[in-house]
Chains A and B, each alone.
Chain A
């Protein structure tokens, strides 16, 4: 071959030509646009259609939003300012309603001198949950988690600090009894801890808290549940529901797959009954029906009732999501755990649940996002969630007839929260990816 080449080719270039830039239509944005948007007649038509739709949607909305008037204390003032600035009949948003009522949309009727408390409670919650969410944080931080619920309850509802402290002591007491009795068998220890702590809460906790309060009156201004509103209410209900329903859902999923007849049937009945009835009905049950069963004058906090109902409701959904994860796990994993001689709880804790939960992450986060948005349903029982709050703001003579501004604000805040949850779930999935494919 080389001989032949030597005879037939008179000249061969011995240096490389410098690379020439690709033709302009084959590079950069132009190429991307051509390949992705205008690659064929159908795509050209679809692109143009989409552009037209986008323009049709935004041509009125964007100028409306950017013309928006922030410094006004009523709709009529907004209109006067608009007429001065842009002339009559020009559409302009009246963001003044957000400016003057943001406090109610975010905090409800929470006393304005105490507004630092809900954000601080949220920070405490995040601090407590961070080491659970991000595995690379120091494990010592996990010690915050058991104390956080009491701190959060105290921050949100106020009152003397000794109430939550006395309540927390019950758990400490239960733990001590458990440790003391552990050598006599699990059942004895469990029952002992349960009886002691229940007796303590029923008879000792209140007098103890009262006594401590009289000795050292340390506390925050009490805030009634009725004063919770806006996003504070949504977040309190949503986050309590989320953090309480996950453990409950795991237990329910395990119970449903249990081979013990009664336990699995109880779980099945619970899940099907809760799931078969709309959340609104459960909320109405919480508000109205419970009052019929309880004696007149008992004040069983409405917010607590709602949190319990939302938790029970979400747990049924979480249980089914996790059951899906458990079912997706190959049979061999269970058999391997058995072969290693692990007991039921050890097998679940070390082998089955970590894998099943990983599989279920998208479903779990999906349920959480749904639960968070479902908190707006509490408006039906007249709690002041952001939606109810916006219609209440609209009922004042200053802001009658304001719709879009309030709805857009509420939607934007909800979007931020839900988007953050969704991003976290994607991050977690990627981090836990073990490439079984």
Chain B
């Protein structure tokens, strides 16, 4: 069995050569979307007790699968560690990487990736015990700081303290679990990482109310799905699937009313174009006319996905903040469907 697999592989290696099909054709041929996700990040991606993947990034995978294949369940979730995520994408192991990856200059250019969208605007924050009596990060002069080594957060921290002319003493930690332990044991005055991460760490404390996240956000961490550089058609599909979810929220289209709205043209031509009841917008990307309807039915619009996984009704309890619609003071601003 094993030998035949190996031989089959070698034969295929000889035959297939360098033929590179478009990613959409690969996905359709396979009848499943290979989606790279975090092996476990609270609120973003984690399997539940029955092994079903759930989370903010997972819902995006489902939306893309629904838009391209018509079924949100046709996703192979491929968990990827921080070290191997980009190589796995470049090597073609995944079609889209929805793994809370920060869009940076070097990743976009040097690593030959494309970030079609930003699905979560994060930033680095500080978690302190309420008893410390600190209300602003600028009051942290001389503080001991728990910080993950080898990350961008470490560099951001150094920049922030140097710019403000204050000093700190780093307590290096390896991962979130260790950071939480060290912080609770009092080994450091403050723990710093992405604000969404701080919020989810705080929910696991016995007394979350004794700890506060300081208002300063000291870095920009635009997290978003990534695809391989070079297949622009596929990047368009990922980008506009995300835009469709954002536009749906802006236009008041939800998972509850989308079927009804898509049944017949409505008064609003933008909704009609989005839901395929007017014009041939799906065909422009090589998709079904109902692609956006299917994507919205998969898990709701952006707002619904956010509220279900990260929002104030969940234990994580994140406010929309920068991730609100532009009409409500956030940064979500989708180009028009026209």
Q: What is A's interface to B at a CB cutoff of 8 Å?
A: 75-76, 79, 100-101, 104, 109, 112, 150, 153, 163-164, 167, 170, 198, 201-202, 205-206, 226-227, 284, 287-288, 291-292, 294-298, 300-301, 304, 379-382, 384, 388, 391-397, 400-401, 403
Closest to B41 in A: A395
A295 touches B80 (CB 8 A): no
Contacting pair B177 A394 (CB below 8 A): yes
Beyond A100-B49, A201-B4, whether A397 also contacts B42 by CB under 8 A is yes
Partner of B48, one of A112, A170, A396: A396
Known: A296-B20, A392-B46. A288 touches B39 (CB 8 A): no
B185 to A: closest C-beta gap in Å: 12
Q: How far does the alpha carbon of A388 sit from the alpha carbon of B78 in the complex, in Å?
A: 14
Chain B residue numbers with a CB within 8 Å of A384 are: 39, 79
For B29-54 the 0/1 string (1 means CB < 8 A from A) is 00000000011111101111111000
Structural contact, A284 and B203, CB atoms closer than 8 A: no
Interface: B91 (CB within 8 A):
yes
* Interface residue tally on B, bucketed by range: 35 or more
Cα distance A138–B78 when bound, in Å?
46
Query: For B7, what are the chain A residues with a Cβ–Cβ distance below 8 Å?
Result: 198, 201-202
| Chain-A contact segment, one of B82-90, B126-134, B253-261 | B82-90
* A250 vs chain B, min Cβ distance (A): 20
CB distance from A83 to the nearest CB of B (A): 10
The residue of chain A having its C-beta at the shortest distance from the C-beta of B77 within the complex is A226
In the complex, B279 has a CB within 8 A of chain A: no
User: Is B91's CB under 8 angstroms from A298's CB?
Assistant: no
Q: Which of A198, A291, A295, A392 contacts B47 (CB 8 A)?
A: A392
Contact A295–B177 (Cβ < 8 Å): no
Is B206's CB within 8 Å of the partner chain A?
yes
Q: Is the CB of A400 within 8 A of B200?
A: yes
Question: Is the pair A226, B78 in contact by a Cβ cutoff of 8 Å?
Answer: yes
- Contact B314 A397, beta carbon cutoff 8 Å: yes
Q: Of A109, A295, A304, A388, which one neighbours B17 at CB under 8 angstroms?
A: A295
Some 13 contacts from A to B, beta carbons below 8 A apart, are A100-B49, A153-B2, A167-B1, A198-B7, A295-B19, A297-B21, A297-B26, A382-B84, A392-B40, A395-B40, A396-B40, A400-B201, A401-B204
Residues from chain A with a CB closer than 8 A to the CB of B12 are 295, 298
The residues of B with any CB-CB pair to A shorter than 8 Å are 1-9, 11-13, 16-21, 26, 38-43, 45-51, 76, 78-81, 83-84, 87-88, 91-93, 177, 180-181, 200-201, 203-206, 314-316
Q: Which residue of chain A has the shortest Cβ distance to B3 in the bound complex?
A: A201
- Report which of A112, A298, A391, A396 forms a contact with B39, defined as CB distance below 8 A: A391
CA distance A382 to B97 in the complex (A): 14
Q: Are B42 and A400 in contact (CB under 8 A)?
A: yes
* Chain B residues with CB under 8 A of A391: 39-40, 177
CB-CB < 8 A to A206: which residues of B?
Answer: 4, 8
Across the interface, do A75 and B92 meet the contact criterion of CB distance under 8 Å? no
Contact indicator A101/B200 (Cβ below 8 Å): no
Contacts of B41 in A (CB 8 A): 395
Interface centre among A101, A291, A295 (most CB of B within 10 A): A295
Bound-state Cα–Cα, A394 to B42, Å: 8
A-B contacts besides A397-B203, A400-B42, A400-B204, 13 pairs, CB < 8 Å: A150-B1, A202-B7, A287-B88, A294-B9, A294-B13, A295-B13, A298-B13, A380-B81, A392-B47, A394-B40, A394-B177, A396-B42, A403-B181
Q: Name the one of B16, B38, B40, B88 contacting A295, with C-beta atoms under 8 angstroms.
A: B16
Other-chain contact of B1, A163, A284, A401 (Cβ < 8 Å): A163
Are A397 and B316 touching (Cβ within 8 A)?
yes
User: Quick check: B203 and A388 within 8 Å, CB to CB?
Assistant: no
Which residues on B sit within 8 Å (CB–CB) of A284?
A: 83-84
Residues of B within 8 A of A205 (CB): 4
